[in-house]
Amino acid sequence: MKLFFTFLSALFFVSCSNQPLCDCVQAGDEVNRISASFFDRAPTKAGEDSLRLAKENRDKLCAPFQDMAPQELHERAAECASLEFSAE
């Protein structure tokens, strides 16, 4: 699971069409954005709720890719022209 999210974090998201992997990456970016906002302000119930909902959405969208081998994930991501890979 950690390998999956590490690999996705290496993807750079510019904009995506409705492809499932692009939606997954976009949902992960939203979770990261909300999480980062807690460093700038005190957590609120509304903020916690929006983070919980964003995580649920991300988990639902990314479920088909969790058990995918990195090579296959890379090949599927290549179908989404707006994703660029880092060789890290």
pLDDT exceeds 70 at position 13: no
pLDDT computed for residue 32 by the predictor: 94
Cβ–Cβ under 8 Å, residues 27 and 11: no
The whole-model pTM stands at 0.64
Q: What is the pLDDT of residues 27-75, one digit of tens each?
A: 988 999 999 998 988 888 998 999 999 999 999 999 999 999 999 888 8
Domain boundaries of the chain, sorted by first residue:
2-85
* Exposure class string for 34-44: b at 16+ Cβ within 10 A, else e: beeeeeeeeee
Residue labelled with tokens 């290549």: 78
Across 14-39, average pLDDT: 81
